[in-house]
Amino acid sequence: MTGINSASDLLLKSTHLEIDQVVAELRAVRTASLEQRQGHLRPPRLPSRKILAGIAEGLRAALFPNRLGPADLAAEGVDHYVGHTLNSTLRALLVQIQHELHFISGTEHLDKAGHEQAAAITQAFAKRLPEIRRLLDDDIVAAYEGDPAAHCIDEVLVCYPGIAAITYYRLAHELYQLGVPLIARMISEIAHSMTGIEIHPGAQIGRRFFIDHGTGVVIGETTIIGNNVRLYQAVTLGAKRFPVDEHGSLVKGIARHPIVEDDVVVYAGATILGRITIGRGSTIGGNVWLTRSVPPNSQITQAQMRT
């Protein structure tokens, strides 16, 4: 046993020395990187993905307290629960918004105007929650009516990954519109990791949106989707090309994703790329690769694409 203990002590000492060296090298790399990217060694704190995940779940519970709130929630206690949940959740969101605004400012401290802006964003977001709930009610009904496997509305709400992804998107989209795109993107990526569905918070999506099955769906930043649109798994609404400037850097912020008009159905595996328009009432078949606009009421299949 003495020999084993001695060997362990030597190993621990050796490992400690190696770790100290690694820590020192990491510090040097980190310092150089921060100086290059930020111009200073102690950048402002970023919003916390872990905290935002809890905020998003709290908001979902406040929107649907009878189904996503506590299992033992009594009818007479719903309003109290919603108020308490919103109070704590929005306070936590305010702090994360302050972090993002501080990060964007690049200053050592967030000034009074920044704190006031964070409060205004939080208040504006809170006022949008009833409309978000109304939009989600429409989405849930569209899913129930569009899926013969759905036995009831509640099943759609608590089981369907598409509804979870859309819920996170609708929350994130409001925050994106209100000027905190980093928080919005982090919330959308939390949903992406949960569901396999990627919806950029900058996308514009109308009422009664239904994603069936959902895994592998990608919806780009400048996508515009009308009302009563249905997508199946592995659908991509993406960009065809990425223009560069005279220095060879990507040009950001340009419209580069599809416009999908009302009452369109896009079946599994379809890839629709570029700033093209899918006309109202069209059906895009499975595994179609589409880079051109199609008029209203089109029926696009793989056979047609090969001709």
Q: Tens of pLDDT along 144-172?
A: 999 999 999 999 999 999 999 999 999 99
Task: Read off the pLDDT band of 307 (50, 70, 90).
Answer: very low
Comparing CA positions, the residue from 242, 195, 247 lying closest to residue 221 is 242
Residues 53 and 191 in one domain: yes
Mean of per-residue pLDDT scores for the chain: 92
Q: Please tell me whether residue 111 adopts helix, strand or coil conformation.
A: coil
Q: How many CB atoms lie within 10 A of CB 258?
A: 28
Q: How far is CA 87 from the centre of its chain?
A: 23
CATH number at residue 270: 2.160.10.10
Whole-prediction pTM: 0.89
The residue range of the domain holding 223 is 216-307
Among 135, 163, 196, give the residue marking a domain's end: 196
Q: Is the pLDDT of residue 3 over 60?
A: no
Most distant pair of Cα atoms in the chain: their distance? 83
Question: Residues 297, 173: one domain?
Answer: no
The half-sphere exposure of 221 on its side-chain side, counting CA atoms within 13 A, is 10
Q: Domain check: are 129 and 171 in the same one?
A: yes
* pLDDT per residue as tens digits for the range 96-122: 999 999 999 988 889 999 999 999 999
Query: Would you say residue 18 lies in a domain?
Result: no
Predicted pLDDT at 19: 81
Within the chain, residue ranges assigned H as helices are: 2-37, 49-63, 65-68, 78-105, 112-146, 153-159, 161-177, 181-195, 302-306
